[in-house]
Amino acid sequence: MSPPSSTQQIPDAPLVPQHVAVIMDGNGRWATARYLPRVTGHVKGVDAVRNVVRACAERGIGYLTLFAFSSENWRRPADEVSTLMRLFSTVLEREVGKMHANGIRVKVVGDLTRFDARLQEQIREAEEKTAANRVLTLTICANYGGRWDILQATNRLLADRPGLASVTEADLAPYLCMAHAPEPDLFIRTGGEQRISNFLLWQLAYTELYFTDTFWPDFDAAALDDAILSYQKRERRFGRTSAQLVEVRKAS
Ligand code: FPP
């Protein structure tokens, strides 16, 4: 069964976010500011991924979702795209064993058909190996776009149930590629831009948004704590008034 939807009922608003979703922006600018090639920024970005995965697990965050490569990123210079592909492959090769030992489940979501056969195979193996782990679910969004997700879900639903006259949230939910996770409590974008950039469009409906100027390679456990602190100061009303929330929470 899919996790509860924030547009249907009031989900728990835990003190530590259960699900954190991140746009890891600023790798290129981090490198350029140091007169280094942009790809060095991505390599440093992998170190930041490792640190943030560890920090999330230590803080009891159950789900971390990272936007690693958008459907639009194919428009980047060819050498940068191929470096990113090599990096994904290296990360899977080198890190999955360690992640598995630490109870981390790895999922990769997006239109994976455009990746080469070897990378697709590595992804399948990583998902299979770590499928039963529950300390933290790390979802990597690769060749992903929020609009793509909503359309692929709708098309697969209609293929399964061709007679459907109208579609409800509950119908669609199991077909969305984040069906394995609750909706994010906290969204973080590093690198100073304040946009969603076609990330998790459906799932971010009631997520708390946090933007920081810190470039992704510099984002560490302390920066994560700043984001969590900001999240903890928010009142999540899910469309209700403060007074209603008090009543609902008293009754539950
Ligand atoms: C955005 O920075 C970052 C990316 C498009 C790639 C992110 C990839 C990694 C951190 C490495 C691999 C990660 C995993 C999970 C395997 P940008 O290049 O847009 O930076 P800019 O805005 O400064 O140019």
With a cut of 90, say whether residue 240 has pLDDT above it.
no
CA of 67 to the centre of ligand 1 (A): 8
- Residues contacting ligand 1 via CB (< 6 Å): 24-29, 42, 45-46, 49, 66, 68, 73, 84, 87-88, 91, 140, 191, 216
pLDDT tens digits, one per residue of 114-123: 999 999 999 9
Three-state SS string across 45-110, please? HHHHHHHHHHHHHHCCCCEEEEEEEEHHHHHCCHHHHHHHHHHHHHHHHHHHHHHHHCCEEEEEEC
Q: What is the pLDDT of residue 239?
A: 72
Calpha distance 169→150 (Å, rounded): 11
| Ligand 1, atom 3, residue with closest C-alpha | 25
Judge whether 73 counts as a catalytic residue.
yes
End-to-end, the C-alpha distance of the chain in Å comes to 21
pLDDT tens digits, one per residue of 58-116: 999 999 999 999 988 999 999 989 999 999 999 999 999 999 999 999 999 999 999 99
Q: What is the pLDDT of residue 5?
A: 74
- With bands split at pLDDT 50, 70 and 90, how would you rate the model's confidence at 247? confident
Q: Given the residues 51, 73, 133, 198, select the one marked as catalytic.
A: 73
pLDDT tens digits, one per residue of 169-197: 999 999 999 999 999 999 999 999 999 99
Calpha distance 226→211 (Å, rounded): 11
| Ligand 1, atom 10, residue with closest C-alpha | 45
Q: What is the pLDDT of residue 8?
A: 67
Q: What is the pLDDT of residue 242?
A: 72
Task: Outline where DSSP puts E strands in 148-222.
Answer: 186-189, 208-211
> What's the predicted TM-score (pTM) here?
0.91
Higher pLDDT, 211 or 250: 211
Comparing CA positions, the residue from 226, 233, 235, 231 lying closest to residue 55 is 226
Q: What is the pLDDT of residue 250?
A: 76
Q: What is the pLDDT of residue 237?
A: 64
Q: Would you tell me how many other CB atoms lie within 10 Å of the CB of residue 133?
A: 17
